[in-house]
Chain A
């Protein structure tokens, strides 16, 4: 009698869980068995692992509460014009509106640019050297004054043309035709800045040195968010940023704490991408990284601001606990982790020796240091999957299991004139544990075909200035393989590729084209692409560049990096924004 009862209960339990799973799967598809609902106490449909990758989790219109961020580091600056951190380009949109921004959508749709401060995308002149943006009318700063075109011009001037604000990228300085402009701190007269013109208070015109079809991506950087000249306090501006977004600065103790409150002068009607859910937003800087994970899991804070994911202890907890795993997402970051083979160092100057390496590498082994499949997908191209124009292909299929095709590798070794293998050096940033482990995995891989690698470690601080980024040094020290990584400043093929594959960007120091690939076809395709205004045609060209680069066999991707980010149950409106590879910080709300 008893036994039957137990069995009956067990059967009922199974039925219930199946019902719930179905319920969760259809995201609110209601009307399931009513008897089971009492047991779950009306809990929200449980989100699964990676749910926020494809849809909005915990969607809610409830306003109020305090949204808490924590960061283990401190930012370069909270000044939208003086920062190079991806999370800050995401976060700063809470108080800084650039001309354009990315659509608020998960998946590929989020890589599309939409108007923010501007009324529409830039209008390029016929020669592609003049880009004009019309500002929306009636957009105000948090003090109630109206945003003027001159403030956008000033923002570009200060962020790109001063010695003091050094932290952000300098693309405008690079592309704008501004002569010998000294910057607004040395030259107070803004009229001397010829690179940007403001014919009226709502028109901003950018003058370029050369056609640049992806200029819209540049103005999506927070550097185009307006700054009134009178309010600029230089490096100290980060303490009192003037807000155009849904939140404004309440207080900012640099390196310690930032508090944002609602900006009553922000008008949702002018803004298609942001929400204004919490009453307050608090950011704590310099918090213990491992403790951040614990606080996230305990629901005491809501977001790890850096968006780089859990630490190893936190990952271990998630991997062991399915319930916890359902509270995580595993998005791509903009980073490709790869090896470059120098085309100028023997025997890698021979393409067959490079191909031998491509075939011999056990990519499962080189994936492991990044955290296995949760740390990244095995890569076969230069561009990453969240780059506009990415096409999947694999020129050097190294076995069905990616563990290496040793027969092919040996064939190419023979073709290279090194049938028994050879000795070579692999350079790595010695203080980056994961990269050192990758070098060791590569060493073991290549040893199988007789290629004996010696690992050379260099400090990451001067990696690009003194070591791997200095071709002279590379040649002198026979650094055949260099382990590196790259993430684009904007998610297009050009943004990703130009710095690392353009032969004309090979620099005597600070060089990122470490393979010293100077392929005429590649260079010309890049030029052609950046002058192609039709985006579909342009994206085809980037895929072509990728293919050409991979044909050189000098570039070998290990993984398209992924992070494992934690999504506390009390966080609402959560989705992964593909342009940042982290949650859209302008959408988040908190359950009270």
Chain B
């Protein structure tokens, strides 16, 4: 083990591999990043890129023996990969909490919303049911659910989608977690509600001064929220930088694709400007060389390196990291001269 991390949260070369009958699935393959309190990190990628596995890995939910985990996860000075399962469990819900996508399936259908919040609270606080219930009503009120004292006994299916997501947030925040991970928090919601939920999360983060990780396939969601953005592809980080870096100076062709496929209010939601052709890579038989090369429109400009050599994650300038074989100058020029004008023209 290397020296303890100075950051609130730091991942060092995290690898989460699943042995299956078909072979080893490398869901997360050497991921590193840091995050401080009060800051927000957006992790962006298609489904299967490893972003959800990463978040569950941080929570220690892959520690049931089936996954092979290596690397380090430092949380507030503690290393979690080597920590006991039971110890990590005591941190879950209290020190770190998660907001799951699709709250209808993520909440137990047979228990009332209130009782699920009460349960979360009472795991970590030795209080009576009445106290916990009052806390649950408080939490529901704080996430903006009207008449929380009435709705507290309702069941998840009796809530609307937005309300359900608010309840889910209330549950996650019930123990004042210092690290909050939101996995696709707004995917199932319509655009107006989406905005409300995102606002709510920023407000709450400010209030609690917690570190926030927002996981999404949609760059638009993290645009306003994030301080830093991490783009994942095939279990690896392909580009990392500040929100400004990613939106205004993106250097990886995959990031360009993501930007191009962002739905915008002035376009039909189904309309995509620059769709990324092809499908995400198999995590068992990762293509040789750059994992993105079969789908990359610029792979021809790497003089064959993209199919033979795995590119490294290198810093281009001031904390902006890119994993690409294209020479930096060429990446810049493609962005400035080919991609950007096309996006602005519409």
The answer to A–B direct touch (Cβ < 8 A) is no
* Chain A residues at the B interface, C-beta cutoff of 8 Å: none
